Amino acid sequence: MKIGDEMDVVIIGGGAAGMTAASRIKALKKDWNVRVFEETSFVSHAPCGIPYVVEDLIGDASHLMYYKPEVFIKERGIDLHINSKVVEVGDGFVRVSENGKETKYNWDKLLFGTGASPRIPDVDGIDLENVFTADLPPDADEIKKAAMNARNVVVVGAGYIGLEMAEAFAAIGKTVTLIGKYDYPLPRFDKEIGEIIKNEVLKKVDYRAAEMLKAIEGKEKVEKVVTDRGEYKADLVVIATGVKPNVELAEQLGVKLGKSGAIATNTRMETNVENVYAAGDCAECKHMLTKKDVWIPLAPGGNKMGYVAGVNMAGGYIEFPGVLGTQITKFFDLEIAKTGLDEREARESGFNPKSVFIKAKTKVHYYPGAKDTFLKVFADKETNRLLGAQIVGYEMVTMRVNVFATAIQAEFTTKDLFFSDLAYAPPFTPVWDPIIVSARVLKF
């Protein structure tokens, strides 16, 4: 391996993890040659913004790049190759298809930041015109264009992407059918919270619970969606049935995969192959509570994994402590968030959970505009250590879930949470904030 200022670094994937790692390496090792290969024309992109492009809240898909390619090239000195597909990874080299030809590049250190891709159901009609996935930013403009001439939209899958896409179409006046595999949308929430979400969803779209996709039908364009329980007219279909990690290139190099099917890494984001790292939606990491390897493809963790990988690739030493799976979304006015473990996960991980479900107001009773919020909070019966929280409501859900996430990471007990010195003023929160109430009811 080369030493000093002659080091060649190759990063496959120009998403959040890849560009964060590349930027960190160049900040620490200005003389190193850092090449990033990105298959699309988008880098440092935010696919989670696709529904908001479709809803016409933020213009076209170009707004989903945090930084344009020229920022990385001119200001940070990264050798960025867009529209460049890595087709082979070998010991010390990659082969890249770009500009109609294949070129071989050498590497001393390599990072897989290859992300994740939609899981596509194996059904007839999946290739019909106007059947989409919400995967990468360019998809947003295509979906938005097709929606202009669509009246009936079917979204298959009621996870985060499916729910957000259903909202986007309903907001622009489409008739929306949302097909879910489970009894309520966002099935990783417990029933008490799930029923609240379901009731809110049913106000805006036709939610078809516990149905399985069987076929998509039409001559050239999609015309209807067939499930095991019915048929639904469709001028446009979005498939949102989950994602899978992109690991094919890593497997070429003999990189070990974890139980989830994503790339196994240690806390420094190193793989089992020397000088090879992985970060972002293609990689596993530790869960802060269970200490087990997990695959939770979310943007905050992916960015931090890229940062950690970049520091270590540049010769530093930093460990990624892991994730709690903190996440938030919304459906129109209802804000929906969770962090840590749900009840089933807690039991399966060896905890003996206790829980409380409370309904509260977001402000003091006499201040105008107080809204409902609902919390389900978990702690271990023996130790009173906080294990998880699920929150839905109509304001300030982000603040409360972030308090819980911080408390769980800090290994707070219910007593610690109860005595947290949280801010109070009538326009913002009751003196007994719902967070504090949950700790009091759980007992300590």
Phi, psi of 442 (to 5 degrees): -65, -30
| Residue written as token pair 């206790």 | 354
CB contact set of 325 (below 8 Å; sequence gap of 6+): 287, 294, 296, 298, 338, 339, 340
Q: Cα(12)–Cα(299) distance, rounded to whole angstroms?
A: 17
Q: How far apart are CA 44 and CA 136, in angstroms?
A: 11
Alpha helices, DSSP H, located in 314-396: 343-348
Question: Beta strand 386-393 with 372-380: parallel, antiparallel or unpaired?
Answer: antiparallel
Nearest to 391 by CA among 339, 319, 444: 339
C-alpha to C-alpha distance for 3 and 409, rounded to whole angstroms: 38
Mode of pairing for the β-strands spanning 116-118 and 8-12: unpaired
Specify whether the CB–CB gap between 64 and 140 falls below 8 A.
yes
Both tokens of 370, joined, read 């107080």
Q: Which of 281, 267, 254 minimizes the C-alpha distance to 13?
A: 281
Could you tell me which of 111, 28, 41, 38 has the C-alpha nearest to residue 77? 28
Of 176, 172, 134, 166, residue with least CA distance to 49: 134
- 46, 48, 120, 422: the catalytic one is 48
48 is catalytic: yes
Can you tell me the distance from the alpha carbon of 342 to that of 194, in angstroms, rounded to the nearest whole number? 12
Q: Which two tokens mark 310?
A: 């970049």
- Catalytic residue list: 48
